[in-house]
Amino acid sequence: MVERAHPRRPDGGSVSIYPDAGALARAAAELVIVLSEEAIAARGRFAVALAGGSTPRTTYALLATEEFANRVDWPRVHIFWGDERCVPPDHIDSNYLLAQQALLDHVPILASNVHRIACEKEPTHAATGYERTLRTFFARFSPGRSPRFDLILLGMGPDGHTASLFPGTAALREKKRWVVAHYIESLAAWRVTLTPKVINSAARVVFLVCGADKAERLHEVLAGPRQPDRLPAQIVRPGDGRLLWLVDSAAAVFIR
């Protein structure tokens, strides 16, 4: 089976379907390579926000292999995160730990270029601290403007959440702050997340979605009525960037 590319949608996005999770991860790794080359050639650096979860982990592991790693100018790459669980960085649930083990420990990236969310702190302090980090970093390139990531990678949960933007939460309606901390009742846990304001300011946003358990919700998000309070993934609509969905065939069974 080969990739099936679907045309651009009214929300500015496009959908590419792959036969399985492995093919999707490989396509995502290739895309990261291309976007890093373009950003470094144009601006001298590549700023990317990573996602957590098993699907991105496979992509990160590929990027750490010799085949891919040697094609990246790692000293010019800056790593951020789209969200984080409020746990220490060595906790099994940490998105930072996932990326560290799969990718960061295996490539020559500068330690100063890895900008993790310090979620071992009190959640609201972690959020304000990370917003300060973002504002300091991006002020060098676009003072007075929203941060413009070269790439933000996102996943989507079976409930339609993305990053740590969950159904019915106030973070979906945040207009000013770049980073917020909030308590997710359904998980009985605190999360820190980038806000829609930041995500929709990116040059490129890429969803990675795998598995039959996501199929029905993915169809709702892509083809159903716009209800971002119930389906947070729908709130992702880059204003001056591109949106791309990379999905495997199991997740795409209802997509025509």
What tens digit of pLDDT does each residue of 89-111 get? 999 999 999 999 999 999 999 99
Residue 83 CB-density burial (10 A; 0-12 exposed, 13-18 middle, 19+ buried): buried
Tell me if 212 is assigned to some domain: yes
Tell me if 4 is assigned to some domain: no
Q: Tell me: the pLDDT tens digits for 158-168?
A: 999 999 999 99
**Confidence grade of residue 154 (pLDDT, cut at 50, 70, 90):** very high
Q: Is the pLDDT of residue 210 over 70?
A: yes
Tell me if 170 is assigned to some domain: yes
What range defines the domain where residue 80 resides?
12-248
How many other C-beta atoms are found inside a 10 Å radius of the C-beta of residue 96?
A: 25
Tell me if 87 is assigned to some domain: yes
Q: Is the pLDDT of residue 146 over 70?
A: yes
Q: Which helix (H) or strand (E) holds 29?
A: helix 21-43
Tell me if 180 is assigned to some domain: yes
Q: Which helix (H) or strand (E) holds 229?
A: none
Tell me if 2 is assigned to some domain: no
Nearest residue to 85 (alpha-carbon basis) of 49, 117, 50, 59: 117
Q: Is the pLDDT of residue 170 over 80?
A: yes
Domain with residue 208: its CATH number is: 3.40.50.1360
| Helix ranges (DSSP H) in 204-252 | 215-223
**Confidence grade of residue 53 (pLDDT, cut at 50, 70, 90):** confident
Whole-number average pLDDT of the chain:
94
Q: Structure tokens of 180?
A: 């917020």
Tell me if 236 is assigned to some domain: yes
What is the Rg, in whole angstroms, of the alpha carbon atoms belonging to the chain? 17
For residues 154 and 60, give the distance between their C-alpha atoms in angstroms, rounded to a whole number.
13
Nearest residue to 153 (alpha-carbon basis) of 4, 29, 16: 29
Domain count, the chain: 1
Measure the N-to-C terminal CA separation of the chain; round to a whole number of Å: 16
Question: Which 8-state DSSP code applies to residue 9?
Answer: P
Q: Which helix (H) or strand (E) holds 70?
A: none
The sheet with strand 83-85 has its strands ordered as 83-85, 189-194, 179-184
For residues 95 and 57, give the distance between their C-alpha atoms in angstroms, rounded to a whole number.
10
**Confidence grade of residue 142 (pLDDT, cut at 50, 70, 90):** confident
Tell me if 132 is assigned to some domain: yes
For residues 113 and 78, give the distance between their C-alpha atoms in angstroms, rounded to a whole number.
5
pLDDT at 54: 87
